Amino acid sequence: MNKKWFFPILLLIVLLISFFIYNKYHVAPHIKFNNLNLVDSNNQPKNLELYKGKKLLICFSASWCPNCIEELDVLKSIKTKELADVEVIVISDESITKINEFKLKRDLPFTFLKMNTTFSSIGINSIPTSYIINKKFEVMHESTGYLNWKNPSTCQHLKKLME
């Protein structure tokens, strides 16, 4: 191979790999929420379409994830004031037993649902992954990683998106 092409080709390969990794772990996938196979804590099927007409925050989360725990604790602390009119739905791919124990232990006032497939099957490779959904059931914001709900301007901005 000609040495003059080695470094440009190597740089291109590194850039492509970086782009792939960034997209996989830092970009929330587009999800068809109506197609999710979900059950509640009693193993009864649930469809997110039931929440149409409400302001929604949907969090894909797990009991073992430190950022998920921190975000859910912050949401709990602001739920009654700043998010009183917002339905917070936490979706996990863990067992129903694990989900119920986690909710009870942390005294979280949210709706918890179990997904009957893995997160990766719908393109979620990084948690927490959150979706802000307005009353028309349109996704207005999607993000991966910890959302700083403690920041008043962030909280206010995300709430406005739900209108």
Q: Are strands 129-133 and 111-115 parallel, antiparallel or unpaired?
A: unpaired
Highest mean pLDDT among 13-17, 57-61, 78-82, 145-149: 57-61
List, in sequence order, every beta strand (DSSP E) within the chain. Answer: 38-39, 45-46, 55-60, 86-92, 111-115, 129-133, 139-144
User: How do residues 85-103 score in pLDDT, each as one tens digit?
Assistant: 999 999 999 999 999 999 9
d(CA 113, CA 46): 8
| Greater pLDDT, 4 or 101 | 101
Q: Which two tokens mark 21?
A: 């990794």
* CATH code of domain 30-161: 3.40.30.10
Question: What are the structural domain ranges in the chain?
Answer: 30-161
Overall size of the chain counted in residues? 163
What is the pTM (predicted TM-score) of this model?
A: 0.83
User: How do residues 27-36 score in pLDDT, each as one tens digit?
Assistant: 577 888 888 9
